[in-house]
Amino acid sequence: MTLADEILEALKRKANSRERTHQIGLGPSEFGHCREYVRNVMIGAPRQPNDEWPAAAEIGTLIGDYMESAVGEYMGAQTQVPVTTRLPNGLTVSGTADMVMPDRNCVVDCKSKSELAQVRRDGPSIDNLIQISIYALGLVQGGVLQEGATAHLVYVDRSGKEQVLHEVTLSWERILAFIDLCVERLTDVITAQEHVDQGEVEWARALRDKTPPFCYHPSVMCPFRDLCWKGSEWKPSGSTLSDEETEIVHGFVQARAEQKEAEELRKAYREALKGVSGVTETGWSVVWSDGDRALYVTQVD
């Protein structure tokens, strides 16, 4: 074994010794994960060990710690703030927010990426959006922030090629929309588990939001990867797509993200329109019917 091999083993041991590596509960960062991952955690499914060194995650942690230190020292932010959030379905979840700025009524979370082109093109991942929304709601519930707070995801290029940070800001309305989405996903998990308990195991398969190339990627190595995919007939081909095919994939991903975001915003606006009825100066009619369950927004002459 070379010295480099020994150092790599030391890095693996260091990573596996961290407290969060052995966390078995669900925190804010897990609720936006694959729903089958969430279900497996909830039922206490056995975890599969990982012999890979999670370099990207470890580097991301170091960058996050550095940013928290700088923002705390030079901007007066509170860092590593414990947060307990009560979701609308009654579930309570606890975690730690990276940076909180009560004077600006906002919470900030640092995320690192290997170059920022993808997040600029496709936007934040759903787990990032749900995580920071849970923090924001909990901080308001705890009186640290006020209703109407904003949440900020700040992305840094861990490759060092880009000096400019990429920021995504969530309004209070969008925060509440992602909280609703979180609850909907949990409802999917609970409903599926009820069917699994009755022997209808195919319901669990519908919760798999990722594919084998993601679950088995060295930077991920999901602890439940074999539970989902071992023995599966679906195997990634391993072929590299052409530039034209890659652009089509990116277009699909962007369209899907925009569709999800539009649906989340639609729900938030619908909630804000409850009890509103009338006609705008621009000719849009707002009408509720069926016991205030159906909303019709139509343009009139």
Residue with tokens 């020994």: 6
Q: What is the mean pLDDT of residues 228-254?
A: 75
Most confident of 22-26, 34-38, 121-125, 253-257: 34-38
Q: How confident is the model at residue 235 (pLDDT cuts 50, 70, 90)?
A: low
Most confident of 165-169, 245-249, 270-274: 165-169
Q: How confident is the model at residue 238 (pLDDT cuts 50, 70, 90)?
A: low
Residue 122: the pLDDT is 83
How confident is the model over 194-220, as pLDDT tens digits? 999 998 988 988 899 888 888 888 778
d(CA 48, CA 25): 16
pTM attached to this predicted model: 0.74
Q: Output the average pLDDT for the chain.
A: 86
Phi and psi dihedrals of 105, rounded to 5? 55, 50
Q: Is the pLDDT of residue 81 over 70?
A: yes
Q: Is the pLDDT of residue 24 over 60?
A: no
Domains parsed from the chain with CATH numbers: 3-239 (3.90.320)
Q: What is the mean pLDDT of residues 41-60?
A: 82
Helix (H, G, I), strand (E, B) or coil at 156: strand
In this structure, what token pair is assigned to residue 149?
């707070």
Query: Using N-to-C axis directions, what is the helix angle for 172-197 and 35-43, rounded to 10°?
Result: 60
In this structure, what token pair is assigned to residue 291?
């016991």
Q: Is the pLDDT of residue 22 over 50?
A: no
